[in-house]
Amino acid sequence: MPSIFRRLATIVAWVLFVFGLLRLLIGLVMAFSTGPELPATQVYLDFAVGVGSLTLSVVVMKLRQMLK
């Protein structure tokens, strides 16, 4: 495989990883700073998007290793 696919997979994995960490951080801040005014669904959705993004970043890194 050309190395461009490997580089692209690396970039995508890092973007997903950083996005996932930011979403978890934002969800954590929202959960503790807003109190009962914010619906719990929104906080749960932030955590779900963060965990999903982190999971996808692991999947992309595993696929990147298979591109050798």
Give residue-wise pLDDT tens across range 28-67: 888 777 766 667 778 888 889 999 999 999 999 998 888 7
- CA distances to 9, 17, 37, 42, 61 from 22, rounded to whole Å, are 20, 9, 22, 15, 19
Q: For residue 60, what pLDDT is reported? A: 92
> Are 6 and 60 spatial neighbours (Cβ–Cβ below 8 Å)?
no
Given a cut of 70, whether residue 12 has pLDDT beyond it is yes
CA gap 8, 34 in Å, rounded: 38
pTM over 0.95: no
